[in-house]
């Protein structure tokens, strides 16, 4: 069987625009990103923003928490060059050549940046409680959705929902809860090299193919470059700055793409399967033993797989990177390939079946590995 991108997707792509976007994105997100990575590493070697091994379960002991700064400075660099190409970025419907830079922060990038700064506060001081961060996340994203109403879908993608519930306030509340939940899920997933950054790279690829926005091209290149460095060296990871900000961009971007009515909500559930399923699994596990759903622990699937590999004699860095990249590919690559090949109708309920199959496998593997970890612990 020959793999071919569907004609509809091929026809929607402008080859000249794609080539220009790749060139500009490589300069802004690639070259700038490399320079910023080196700068962040220099800061970390001066003992600024180094990882605390008890906070970030399986990272290398002396890893910089400034990786997210690299990605978001690349985003800010985009804001300076985008007016030259008439790209209005995400959150601004309709591309109008010649718009000024002021238009770029009329979208939702500001919300992601504010959440990233909250993460930086936590990275730097570790004084922000989980409830405080949650309240700030709800506030910032609530304002973002209120000021960008086009992000809200016209209806909920679930059968049997009565029309009386298909109102803007209820849809807005559901959308807010889902995006806030994903921000926390993404933050949780930044526990293994490449896990969140590879998932983000795949999302930005889909977002770029859907929009041909220079913004998504820059984020794609910047996130991919960071992921390669993170996976190969383990010397730098996203930190709360990057995981909060990147997750906000993905959550709001997914909502924007979904609101256009071209994809089932379950498609994005499949594409972002690991963080979506894992946060529900872990919260249920915490509640079952009487813990707060906001409590931190090392019962995540990536922790369990990492411990299994270490028990089998793997060194920490390759075990860490294999865990992160492996989970990201297993969860996000199948829906990406199905999307590119046009194997499943974008609005089909088959995406729901695919999501439930992945969720079942995810929970089953976690249960098996938890049992093995208890056995290892009992043996001492």
For 44-88, what is each residue's pLDDT tens digit? 555 555 555 444 445 555 667 777 777 877 777 777 776 666 665
**Residue 193 has which token pair?**
């090299």
Strand-pair partners of 236: 64
- Which pLDDT does position 213 carry in this prediction? 80
The verdict on residue 323 lying in a domain is no
- Using left for φ > 0, alpha for ψ between -120 and 50, and beta otherwise, residue 342 falls in left
Look up the pTM and report it: 0.85
Please give the chain's pLDDT, 380 residues, in tens.
Answer: 344 455 555 555 666 556 655 655 566 555 555 565 566 555 555 555 555 544 444 555 566 777 777 787 777 777 777 666 666 555 544 333 333 333 445 567 888 888 988 887 776 666 667 788 889 999 999 998 888 888 888 766 666 667 667 777 888 898 999 999 999 999 888 888 999 999 999 999 999 888 878 788 888 888 888 888 888 887 777 888 889 999 999 999 998 888 887 888 899 999 999 999 999 999 999 998 888 887 777 889 999 999 899 888 898 889 999 999 999 999 999 999 999 888 888 888 899 999 999 999 999 999 999 888 777 776 75
Strand-pair partners of 50: 64
The verdict on residue 226 lying in a domain is yes
The verdict on residue 333 lying in a domain is no
Distance (Å, whole) CA 178 – CA 268: 12
The verdict on residue 313 lying in a domain is no
Residues 6+ apart with CB under 8 A from 253: 90, 203, 207, 216
CB 212 within 8 A of CB 21: yes
Residues 6+ apart with CB under 8 A from 302: 58, 189, 191, 192, 195, 323, 324, 327
The verdict on residue 220 lying in a domain is yes
CB 60 within 8 A of CB 316: yes
Q: Which residues of 303-338 are buried (b: 16+ CB within 10 A; e: fewer)?
A: bbbbbbbbeeeeeebebbbbbbbbbbeebbebbbeb
Closest CA to 258 of 202, 200, 178: 178
Q: What is the dihedral of CA 149, 152, 155, 159, to 10 degrees?
A: -160
Distance (Å, whole) CA 185 – CA 108: 19
**What is the number of domains present in the chain?**
1
pLDDT tens digit sequence for 110-139: 888 889 888 877 766 666 677 888 899 999
- Which pLDDT does position 29 carry in this prediction? 54
The verdict on residue 210 lying in a domain is yes
The verdict on residue 374 lying in a domain is no
| DSSP characters over 213-239 | -HHHHHHHHHHHHHHHHHHHH-SB--H
What are the phi and psi torsion angles at 50 (to 5°)? Answer: -85, 155
Total number of residues shown for the chain: 380
The verdict on residue 356 lying in a domain is no
Distance (Å, whole) CA 143 – CA 134: 14
Domain with 157 in it = 7-266
Give all strands (DSSP E) within 113-261, no chain letters.
Answer: none
CA angle 347, 351, 353 (to 5 degrees): 135
């Amino acid at each position: 069987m020959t793999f071919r991108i569907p004609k509809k997707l091929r026809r929607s792509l402008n080859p000249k625009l794609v080539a220009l976007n790749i060139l500009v994105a490589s300069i802004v997100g690639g070259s700038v990103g490399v320079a910023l990575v080196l700068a962040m590493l220099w800061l970390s070697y001066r003992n600024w923003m180094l990882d605390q091994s008890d906070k970030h379960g399986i990272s290398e002991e002396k890893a910089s928490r400034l990786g997210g700064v690299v990605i978001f400075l690349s985003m800010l660099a985009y804001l300076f060059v985008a007016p030259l190409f008439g790209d209005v970025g995400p959150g601004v419907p309709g591309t109008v050549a010649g718009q000024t830079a002021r238009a770029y922060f009329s979208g939702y990038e500001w919300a992601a940046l504010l959440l990233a700064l909250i993460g930086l506060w936590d990275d730097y001081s570790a004084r922000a409680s989980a409830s405080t961060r949650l309240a700030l996340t709800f506030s910032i994203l609530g304002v973002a959705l209120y000021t960008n109403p086009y992000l809200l879908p016209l209806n909920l993608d679930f059968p049997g929902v009565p029309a009386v519930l298909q109102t803007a306030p209820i849809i807005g509340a559901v959308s807010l809860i889902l995006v806030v939940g994903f921000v926390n899920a993404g933050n949780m997933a930044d526990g293994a090299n490449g896990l969140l950054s590879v998932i983000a790279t795949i999302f930005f690829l889909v977002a770029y193919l859907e929009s041909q926005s220079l913004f998504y091209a820059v984020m794609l290149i910047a996130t991919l470059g960071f992921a390669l460095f993170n996976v190969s060296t383990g010397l730098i990871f996203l930190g709360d700055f990057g995981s909060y900000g990147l997750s906000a961009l993905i959550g709001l971007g997914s909502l924007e793409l979904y609101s256009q009515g071209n994809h089932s909500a379950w498609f994005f559930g499949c594409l972002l399967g690991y963080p979506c399923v894992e946060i529900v699994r872990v919260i249920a596990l915490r509640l079952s033993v009487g813990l707060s759903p906001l409590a931190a622990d090392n019962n995540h699937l990536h922790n369990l797989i990492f411990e299994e590999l270490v028990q089998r004699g793997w060194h920490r860095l390759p075990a860490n990177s294999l865990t992160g990249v492996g989970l990201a590919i297993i969860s996000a690559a199948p829906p990406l390939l199905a999307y590119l090949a046009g194997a499943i109708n974008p609005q089909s309920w088959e995406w729901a079946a695919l999501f439930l199959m992945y969720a079942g496998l995810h929970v089953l593997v976690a249960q098996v590995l938890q049992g093995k970890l208890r056995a290892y612990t009992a043996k001492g």
